[in-house]
Amino acid sequence: MKSFEAKALKFIEEHLCVFIIILAFLLGAYLRFSMRYFISGDTDEYYLSWYDEIKSLGGFKALGTQVGDYSILYQFMLAALTYLPLIHLYALKAFSIFFDLLLSILLAFIIGKNTEYGIKGAAAAFAFAWISPVAAMNSAMWTQCDSIYTFFVILALLYLYREKHVLSMVFLGIAFAFKLQTIFIVPFFLFIYFYKKKFSILYFLIVPAVMWFTTIPGIIAGHGLLDGFEIFFIQKAEYYLMEMNYPGFWMFTSYETFVEKYEYFDWLYPVGMILTVVVLAGWMAFTIKAKAKMNAVNFIGLALLLSYSAVFFLPVMHERYGYIYEILAIIYVFYNRKSAVPLVLLEIISIITYSWYLMFVPRNLTWLAVLNLIVYLWYAILYVKGLKETEESADVKIA
């Protein structure tokens, strides 16, 4: 071996994690670049038409008109994109991809600074989050914004753990301002409030205050004072199906077809809401009775389990609604390596459901629901076992 080869190999070995991050970034970027031409049904029917309408109305001047059924904050971001010298499809995708990157960096920071893996863990967390086919399909194919609100949800959880409650609520409010699906993490915030008793319930008022603050550009442009909240009720009223391509609990009780309205939806929907509340309350009561320490392992584990429970048992769930707990699962695996297999299975489930919607790839939603139930129970068992194990271990923290 030549001397320059030996030096080069030594340099690579000494900076292996940096090379992994660079390689992961390039692979993830190429993956998204290869999807640049893809136009999903949602993109064609909604996002591109919204973009064109906002641009035709004068960009920011359009904020006084409700375009589409997304929030005023999202409409504001679309208006900002109309001023960029980019093809509208690329501008929309770049916005979501940018938050893919921010979310991957945030996970790398959390893992790198707060686990025994250090820089190696940071590199692995970044690589998994950035190269994830689900993340790439969500932003670069579907043009969805799930990475955007989830980024702020993870920030909110980070500051909740640090007991910086005002900042936590601010970030939670921003997440809500982007997407109502932020609500899946709210049960965990309520649990921390009751269990730790470290902040006033009045702090939760920061969330709607921040949401309202994000609507100010729209109000100035002509929106009503409460229009930013009304849009969420419009979103809720759009669907009358117990399942919407998410393989959850209600897949076991309904036939797999898209019809305008199930005959039993009106009475089964309230049952689903009550069941979800019972399941969430059950996990909270179990944790309280166990007198669990809210160290990092249990904190992340319970946040994952409660958000997973909400999506799995609630009716009218879409396949993308698992994004929060899927990201939490990436963090959790660095605190509990036994969760590696269910993490991979979560990814597979979402890839299949995404592929059916985006590319009409056949799938059996009933069998996916069985697999999803197994994964849910798997995480439940890991959490229960983890409560006892962490009582005897050192308290690992999220800084």
Residue 112 lies in a domain: yes
Least confident segment among 2-6, 62-66, 157-161: 2-6
Q: What is the pLDDT of residues 97-127, one digit of tens each?
A: 999 999 999 999 999 988 888 899 999 999 9
Given this model, what pLDDT does residue 143 score? 93
Residue 361 lies in a domain: yes
Given this model, what pLDDT does residue 344 score? 97
R_g (Cα) of the chain, nearest Å: 22
pLDDT of 83 > 50? The answer is: yes
Given this model, what pLDDT does residue 91 score? 94
Q: Which of 237, 268, 296 is the last residue of a domain?
A: 237
The pLDDT > 70 percentage for the chain reads: 89
Average pLDDT, the chain: 89
Average pLDDT over residues 334-353: 96
Given this model, what pLDDT does residue 260 score? 44
Which domain, by its residues, includes 199?
Answer: 25-237
Rounding to the nearest 10 degrees, give the CA dihedral for residues 325, 183, 54, 62: -150
Residue 9 lies in a domain: no
Given this model, what pLDDT does residue 255 score? 54
Q: What is the pLDDT of residues 269-282, one digit of tens each?
A: 899 999 999 999 99
Are the CB atoms for 123 and 21 separated by under 8 Å?
yes
pLDDT of 397 > 60? The answer is: no
Given this model, what pLDDT does residue 104 score? 97
Residue 306 lies in a domain: yes
Residue 17 lies in a domain: no
Residue found under tokens 């979501």: 96
Closest CA to 125 of 330, 388, 275, 265: 330
Chain center to CA of 121? 21
Given this model, what pLDDT does residue 233 score? 67
Burial group, residue 372, by CB count within 10 angstroms (0-12, 13-18, 19+): buried
Residues 261 and 145 in one domain: no
Given this model, what pLDDT does residue 132 score? 96
Structural domains of the chain, count: 2
Given this model, what pLDDT does residue 269 score? 87
Residues 364 and 397 in one domain: yes
Q: Say how far apart CA 262 and CA 254 lie, in whole Å.
A: 9
Residues 173 and 275 in one domain: no
Q: Which of 188, 221, 237 is the last residue of a domain?
A: 237
Q: Say how far apart CA 298 and CA 332 lie, in whole Å.
A: 9
Average pLDDT over residues 135-159: 96
The pLDDT > 90 percentage for the chain reads: 68
The pair of structure tokens assigned to 215 is: 């609507």
Residues 125 and 265 in one domain: no
Least confident segment among 29-43, 230-244, 291-305, 339-353: 230-244
Q: What is the pLDDT of residues 287-341, one digit of tens each?
A: 999 988 899 999 999 999 999 999 999 998 999 999 999 999 999 999 999 999 9
Residues 226 and 289 in one domain: no
pLDDT of 156 > 60? The answer is: yes
Residue 389 lies in a domain: yes
Q: Say how far apart CA 137 and CA 151 lie, in whole Å.
A: 17
pLDDT of 3 > 90? The answer is: no
Residues 204 and 316 in one domain: no
pTM, two decimals, is 0.93
